[in-house]
Amino acid sequence: MTRPLPPCRAPALSGALPAPAWRLTIWVPLADPSSAKKFVAAVDPAVPPPGLAGAVVAIGNFDGVHRGHLAVIKRARTLAQELNCPCAVLTFEPHPADFFKGPNTIFRLTPRDAKAKALEQLGIDGMIVITFDKVLASLPAEAFIVEILVRRLKIRAVVAGYDFHFGAGRSGSPALLKEAGKRHGFAVEIVERVPAATADINEAASSTAARAALEAGDVEDAAQLLGHPFAVMGKVVHGQELGRTLGFPTANLLPDPSCRLRHGVYAVRVVTGGTKIYAGVASYGRRPTFDNGQALLEAFLFDFSGDLYGETIEVLFIGWIRAESKFASAAALIAQMQRDEARARELLRAPSAG
Tally of CB atoms within 10 A around 148 = 20
Is 23 within the bounds of a domain?
A: no
**3-class DSSP state for residue 331?**
helix
Find how far residue 250's CA is from the centre of its chain: 24
Q: Is residue 205 part of a domain?
A: no
* Whether residue 48 sits in one domain with residue 187: yes
Domain end point (choices 136, 162, 191): 191
Q: Which residues pair with 129 in a beta bridge?
A: 43, 91
pLDDT, residue 314, reads 92
Which of these three, 174, 191, 208, is where a domain ends?
A: 191
Is residue 213 included in any domain, yes or no? no
pLDDT of residue 14: 32
Establish if 25 belongs to a structural domain. Answer: no
Q: Which residues of the chain have pLDDT under 70?
A: 1-37, 198-202, 241-243, 354
Q: What is the CATH number of the domain that holds 129?
A: 3.40.50.620
> What total of structural domains would you count in the chain?
2
- How far is the CA of 250 from the CAs of 143, 231, 296, 346, in angstroms? 51, 17, 11, 20
- The answer to whether residues 237 and 178 belong to one domain is no
The Cα-based distances of 282 to 187, 277, 287 in angstroms read 46, 14, 12
Nearest to 300 by CA among 248, 353, 238, 345: 248
185 and 66, same domain (yes or no): yes
Q: Do 167 and 62 share a domain, yes or no?
A: yes
Are 321 and 340 contacting, i.e. CB atoms less than 8 angstroms apart? Answer: yes
| 289 domain-assigned | yes
Tell me which amino acid residue 222 is. A
pLDDT for position 41: 92
Domain with 325 in it = 229-353
Say whether both 151 and 242 belong to one domain.
no
Boundary (domain end) residue, out of 135, 170, 191: 191
Same domain for 242 and 163, yes or no, is no
Neighbouring residues of 176: CB distance < 8 A, sequence distance ≥ 6: 141, 142
Give a yes or no: residue 340 inside a domain: yes
What is the full DSSP assignment across 113-152? HHHHHHHHTTT-SEEEEEE-SHHHHT--HHHHIIIIIIII
In this structure, the answer to whether residues 173 and 307 fall within a common structural domain is no
Q: At what angle do helices 207-215 and 219-226 cross, to 10 degrees?
A: 170
DSSP 217-250: T-HHHHHHHHSS--EEEEE-B----HHHHTT---
Both 183 and 246 in a single domain? no
Residue 129 contacts residue 88 (beta carbons within 8 Å)? no
Q: For residue 333, tell me if it sits in a domain.
A: yes
Q: Are residues 166 and 266 in the same domain?
A: no
Euclidean distance between CA atoms 100 and 248, whole angstroms = 43
Same domain, 233 and 183: no
- Residue 280 belongs to a domain with what CATH number? 2.40.30.30
Residues 245 and 347 in one domain: yes
pLDDT recorded at residue 164: 95
Q: Give the CA angle between residues 110, 206, 200 to the nearest 5°.
A: 135
Question: Alpha carbon of 21 to those of 50, 275, 319: distances in Å?
Answer: 24, 9, 26
Residue 201 lies in a domain: no
Domain co-membership, 182 together with 302: no
- Predicted pLDDT at 272: 92
Please state, in angstroms and rounded to a whole number, the distance separating the CA atoms of residues 27 and 161: 21
Comparing CA positions, the residue from 147, 174, 130 lying closest to residue 41 is 130
